[in-house]
Structure formats: structure tokens, C-alpha cells
Structure 1
Amino acid sequence: MPTNLPAEAKAKWVKYLEARTLEEKIEALEEFLSYVPKHKGTENLRAWVRRKIAELKDELEEKKARRGGGGGPTFFIEKEGAAQVVMLGFTKSGKSSVLRILTNAKPEVSPIPFTTTLPVPGMMPYQDIQIQVIEAPAFVNGMSKGSVWWGSRVLGLARNADGLIVVLDAANDPIEQFKSIVEELAEVGIHVRKPSGEVSVIKSRDVHGIRVITYGRLINCTSDDVRKLLESYRIYNAEVRVFGEVTLDDIEKAIFERITYKPTLVLLNKVDLIDREQVSEVLTTILSNYPDIQVLPVSAAKRLGFDNVPEKVFKMLKIIRVYTKEPNSGRPSPKPMILKEGATVEEAIKKIREEFLKYFKFAKIWGPSAKYPGERVGLDHILMDGDVIEIRTTIKGV
């Protein structure tokens, strides 16, 4: 990323940040691009800006299509269930067959390449919840650079998802398929390997000045360096959250591009067409480079290997189910609320009804996180999957 953009370019970037409509954002980015110098140090930035402009134009078309009552194909899928997972893979990898097995969806299954032209959603049951799984149109090499019209839209689906399922064709160089998908995702700031550090720059009028919150450590820079960097981009009120080990260059990247990590499950499909040694080779190669990723050998044609997929996806997403219980009531709610692993009682209350925080007295917990049934806890108590929570407040009857 460049560290010495001219003042004119930084001013145009501020214009983009302040833009409210898609049209204004597109115009501001085009102006910004015209002021970014053309040299090796700005190649990645210029490429990202061009991709971003294309994404915004696609989004604008989607918006117009929805307003017009379906005047054109739409990639917008509203999130449903406990989480949303997007299924990626090259054509003829068997994504549609996998979706049929895992969910209630009935996508067309055909030997003809590129049968799926729009995203197809389905709901995958796991115990007492449903996880939305969306089959995306086929992955294509170079899609991050505009090789196909649906490229930026598929990558947008991946960015907005809570996690990914990558389907590989075991009989057609699956290692190269996986490598290509990972590289295309990385081109737009989506990573399947958990990074050593993450940073988010949250601009807000509610924050006075530059507030740096560090959950890890800054490498070769200080909070004052971070403040000066943001102010050079005319960002004067923002919260910078640092997780793990982060450099000043990482923070500058975060100003331009949102880098996101997506937990990923790989399904090695069509293993019935190769021998065990080949399966082992694929598993070893992927896991040696991506130890956080799980790879499951499956066969959609023979419906083998799918029994554990819902559980693997649930655990991969690092979400928990918490059930609410009314005071003096015997039974908890049948439908759980979904929280991220590590969520506290305070976060649960915010999801139930934030107003309760003002009148909070204590909570009672039954389940894995409780030392004993009905344990009284405070706002900072960390919840676990399967917990039942009862909120006590100073409000009469609550």
C-alpha cells in the first residue's frame, strides 16, 4: 500500500468516505483513482479501486432491479436462520448436488457447465436451528479482475457471509482449484487463513479524536503514529481496534480496504472417483498450509460423508445458542438466540432488549457456563452453548 499519496488524492478519498449515495461513491472513487500516481507502489491500490468501482456499479444495478420489481437478475439474498454460509466452487464440482443433500433447496443438477447462474439459498438443519447455505454461481479464474460479469457479485456474497463452504472436484486437480479460489478471495481482501493480526477503523461522530483500542500489540509504531496516519487522511474521529499483531501498514490498508477472515470448510467431492492415496495427498497438502481449515471427503453421487457437515459448520462459525427464561417460569424458550463464542450476559441483554441494561440487577444461569443450576451472575459472565438465561431487573414484574 502507498504511504505517500498526494494531498489531492487524500482529499478525494475523504470525499468518498463522506459520500452517501452509490452514485456519489462511484464518482468520488473515479476522481480518487485519477489522482493516485501510477507506479509499482500503487498497483494494488489502483487495482482495488477499480474492483470497488465495479462492485458499486453492480450494487447500483441490483438496487435498481429490486426497485423495478425484478427487472433483472439479482444476487441479493436476505440472511435467514442462525447464520449464512456461502458455497463456492468451480463449475461441475457438484455444488448443486451438495446443496440438495444438505438443505431443502432443489437446484437444477446438470452435467452442463455453468448451470447455476444466480445464487440459490437453502436451509440446513442442525439440532434446533437452521443455517442458511447459499450456492453461488461457478467460480472462474480471474473473476476478481472482472473476467466474468458475475465475479464481483459472487465475491460480494462471500464477503457478506458468516462463513464459506468450498466444494472441490476430487477428480480434477482439487489442489489447484483450492489454490485458485483462495487467491481470488485474497485479491479482494477475503482470507481463509486466520491472520496473526486484524484491524478495523470505525469512523464515528460519537468518538472524539482517534481512540486506539489494542487487544494485541502494535508493531514498530505507536498510538500517536496511528493518529497521525489517520489525520493525514482527514479522519479525526475514529476508533481503531487492533487484534493480535498489527503494523502501521496494516492500519493504512484498513483505511482503504476491509480485510476479512472467513471460517471455511472444504468438501472434497467425488472421492468415489479417486483412490485413498490421492484423497490423503489432497488432505495433507491443504491442511499443511491451512491448519485451521477442515477438509471432509464426500461423495454427492453416493451421498457419503455428509452426516457431520452441519455440526462442522456450526462449530466452524463459533456461534452459541442461548435460551431465555422468564422469571419464575419453568421452561426456557424453545427458540434460542444466536451469539458469538465468548459473548457475555451484557451482549445477550442487548440482543433481548437493551433497555434492560439500565435496570439490571443480576442474571441466573443454567447450563454449561454455570457453576451450579441457577447461578447468579453479572454482566461480564461469559456464556456457553446451551445456556439458559433469566434476567432480573428493578422493573416490577421483570
Structure 2
Amino acid sequence: MRTSQEILKIFLSSHTLGDVMGVEDKIREIEEELRKTPYNKATQYHIGRLKARLSRLRDEAVKRSSKKSQHNGYSVKKTGDATVVLVGPPSVGKSTILNRLTNATSEVASYDFTTLNVIPGVTEIHGAKIQLLDVPGLIEGAALGKGRGREVISVVRSADLILLVTTVFEIEQLDTLEKELYDAGIRLNIQPPDVRIIKRDRGGIRINKTPNVRMDDTLIKAVLGEYKIHNADIIIREDLTIDRLIDAILANRIYLPSIRVINKIDLIGRDELEPLRGMPDTVLISAATGEGLNDLKEMIFRGLGFIRIYMKPPGRKADLEHPLIVKTGATVADVAERIHRDLKRNFRYAQVWGSSAKHDGQRVGLTHRLADGDILRIVS
């Protein structure tokens, strides 16, 4: 096992190998070194610096692959209340899922890379119009541009929700998909780090952290130093890891919800499915037979964080056929502004019927938070 001094020597030497080694070679070398090195008090500073270097190299590799690409990326006009992208390796049934859920016609075949372009479709779930995009299969190395990876990832970055699609025979591919998206700067099912970095011209590094933060100041400064940040105020409110600190420093990560979709459950026995049930953020389906597709729709609606609000115009009945789709936590002010900015400007009061109201027809103000299924009347 190498000593911390040897680790540091390797790390420092990697800075001077740019003309000799390719970026991918350096990435692999640092990844291997990290795998071999146990994390403890003696090595944590060097591991922190190695991870910072690795993150910089990955970003550099992604940028290089984007420049080398002969394609300009896929351009898809967003429509509806949200956009959901189906991501998966080739031939796992993404096209069949799209065709089942929407009015799209995506070519289906049993060979790899059937989908060479982005195929859009639209489905309606509880009144929400949701755009689904079927993209070419994502393979290992996609973050570095392999298999049109950069074009696919450019579409994923603009999504509101990702469906990670695989089959009952290739469940391990889910880890590959998540790693490729992670390497491309896409973080799934987590919130951004609760860290604020205010760069200064002078004064050194000043760290302000809550009592739950265990990372010591020396390690924080070492990681910041790798990004040439030597004067800044750092406010940390979560017990973060080195990777989360790096994400906060870079401030270029995309944070998206995702659902794991395991297809072709009709091809194995029910007893073989049992170990898969109960997996978090996962739905089991058969695109061929339609089994589980209603569950998938429900998970998409919940994953997007949508709620339905039914408007009641003054003197008329509530429109229960065409709900207004807003995000969980929306207030009366959000709805008023969504309908027309003058409605918020001339607001007098609102009435609410539903689970957010203490009683039917409760009078509320602009800050009242609404719940799914509420009926709302705005008086201006």
C-alpha cells in the first residue's frame, strides 16, 4: 500500500503529464489510485486533492469531446408542462415504451441503435401534458462522447425527469447509466449542496459551518486550493463529502429526479421478480403487454412534483375537466401569476375548497400554499 507522500507525488506529477499522457489516461490513473487508497485521517487531504483533480480532468474530457463531435447536438422544442427523457442502453425497449405511452411512432427493432435521432411524443397524465423523448442508446463511455453520448446528454440536461430504462436481464446497466450521467455532471435524486462560496479579492479563506459539519478546515482549504480559490467566504450548512464540496465549487452540475424502469418482466417467472419489488424509485413493467404502465404514469406524475388546481370563476362552477398543473408547494400567488400577471397585481382575496383549506370556501391570501385537488377562486 502506498504512503500518503507517494500519493501526493503521483498527484503532483500528473500536473506535468499533459503533453505526454491523454486526459483519459490520467483519469484512469487517478481513479485507480483512489481505489487502492483507504480513506483515513492521514490520507484524507491527498484524496481530496486527487478527487478535485479527477473532477477537473473529467470536465476537460467532456469539453474536448463536445468540440470534437461532428454533430451540433439534438434540438428538440420543449412542449407541454414537462419533458421526460428515456435513457438506457440500446435495445431495452425505450421505443416501445414511448409508443405505448404517447402518440409517437418510434421505429422498433431487435438490433442495437435503432433510434438514431430524438423521437418526441406527448402523453397526458391527470391533466398534465408531458413530453416524452426517446433518445439513442447510452453506452459506457458516453460522457466522453462515445456512441453519440454528448448529443444524448445534451438532451438529458434539459429534461425535467429522467427514466433510466433497462430490462430484467441487464439490471446492472442501471449502475452504468448512473455513472455516465454522474461523470457528465448530472446528479440524480439529490438536492444541490447547501454550500455558499463568495469569492473575494483578499482576506484568505474564511469558513463558517454549522455544528453538524465534520469536514475539517484544512481539507476544505486543500480542495479549494486545487481550483485556485485562495480568497473567499465559505458557508457550509450540511455534513458534506469531498465530492459534494467539489460540486459546490464547480457550480455547473444539473440536479434532476429520476425513475428506474425495469422492462420485459413478462419474460421471467413471478418468483424471479420478487427480489426486484420494493426497490426505491423503481417500477417494473412490460412494454410488450402493457403491465405496469399505469404505475409508471403515476410515478412520472409524482416524480415531476405536480399538483392539480381546479379553477372556479366567480359566479360559475369549478372546471373539473381541465386542471391547472403547478408544482408542489405552489401558492395562490403562483397560480395568479401563471394565469395573468394583472390577476396578482389586482388581487383582493381568494377562496379555497380542498385539503389545504380549514373549511370549504376559506378566504386566503397570496401566500396560502395549495394542495393537490384544491378548488380555487380568485377575486380581483
TM-score (structure 1 length as normaliser) = 0.68
Match of 2:57? 46
- Structure 1 distance, partners of 2:174, 2:294, is 23
Larger Rg: 2
- Structure 2 distance, partners of 1:281, 1:362, is 52
Percent identity over the alignment is 30
Q: What are the within-5 Å matches in structure 2 for residues 363-374 of structure 1?
A: 363-374=350-361
- Structure 2 distance, partners of 1:56, 1:336, is 44
Q: Is the 8 A contact 2:197 2:249 kept in 1?
A: no
User: Structure 1 residue 349: deviation in Å?
Assistant: 2.8
- Structure 2 distance, partners of 1:85, 1:314, is 10
User: Structure 1 residue 77: deviation in Å?
Assistant: 1.6
Picking from 149, 152, 155, the partner of 1:151 is 149
Match of 1:316? 303
Q: Is the 8 A contact 1:164 1:263 kept in 2?
A: yes
User: Structure 1 residue 100: deviation in Å?
Assistant: 1.1
Q: 1:113 to 1:249 in 2, by over 3 A?
A: closer
Match of 1:276? 270
User: Structure 1 residue 244: deviation in Å?
Assistant: 5.5
* Structure 2 SS opposite 1:330: coil
Match of 2:202? none
Q: 1:331 to 1:262 in 2, by over 3 A?
A: same
- Structure 1 distance, partners of 2:338, 2:212, is 30
2:176 partner letter: S
TM-score (structure 2 length as normaliser) = 0.71
Match of 1:194? 190
- Would you say 1:131 and 2:130 are equivalent positions? yes
Q: What are the within-5 Å matches in structure 2 for residues 229-308 of structure 1?
A: 245-246=239-240, 250-283=244-277, 287=279, 291=280, 293-296=281-284, 298-308=285-295
* Residue ranges of structure 1 left out of the alignment (5+ in a row): 1-33, 63-73, 204-211, 393-397
Deviations 1:10-69 (A, max 9, x none): xxxxxxxxxxxxxxxxxxxxxxxx9xx9995212212113313544776x953xxxxxxx
User: Structure 1 residue 269: deviation in Å?
Assistant: 1.4
2:273 partner letter: V
Match of 1:162? 160
Q: 1:111 to 1:128 in 2, by over 3 A?
A: same
Q: Is the 8 A contact 1:221 1:248 kept in 2?
A: no
User: Structure 1 residue 235: deviation in Å?
Assistant: 10
User: Structure 1 residue 294: deviation in Å?
Assistant: 2.3
* Structure 1 SS opposite 2:289: coil
Q: 1:370 to 1:306 in 2, by over 3 A?
A: same
Q: What are the within-5 Å matches in structure 2 for residues 352-363 of structure 1?
A: 352-363=339-350
- Would you say 1:346 and 2:333 are equivalent positions? yes
* Structure 1 SS opposite 2:110: coil
Number of aligned positions between the proteins? 328
User: Structure 1 residue 258: deviation in Å?
Assistant: 2.9
1:179 partner letter: D
1:84 partner letter: T
* Structure 2 SS opposite 1:198: coil
* Residue ranges of structure 2 left out of the alignment (5+ in a row): 1-22, 31-49, 199-206
Q: 1:179 to 1:169 in 2, by over 3 A?
A: same
* Structure 2 SS opposite 1:348: helix
Q: Is the 8 A contact 1:216 1:242 kept in 2?
A: no
Deviations 1:332-381 (A, max 9, x none): 48543332211222322332334544443322212231222221112221
Q: 1:104 to 1:364 in 2, by over 3 A?
A: same
- Structure 1 distance, partners of 2:155, 2:60, is 19
Match of 1:328? 315
Picking from 333, 337, 343, the partner of 2:324 is 337
Cα RMSD, aligned residues only? 4.2
- Structure 1 distance, partners of 2:322, 2:197, is 33
* Structure 1 SS opposite 2:157: helix
Q: Is the 8 A contact 1:194 1:261 kept in 2?
A: yes
2:119 partner letter: V
- Structure 2 distance, partners of 1:389, 1:216, is 43
2:185 partner letter: G
- Structure 2 distance, partners of 1:346, 1:362, is 11
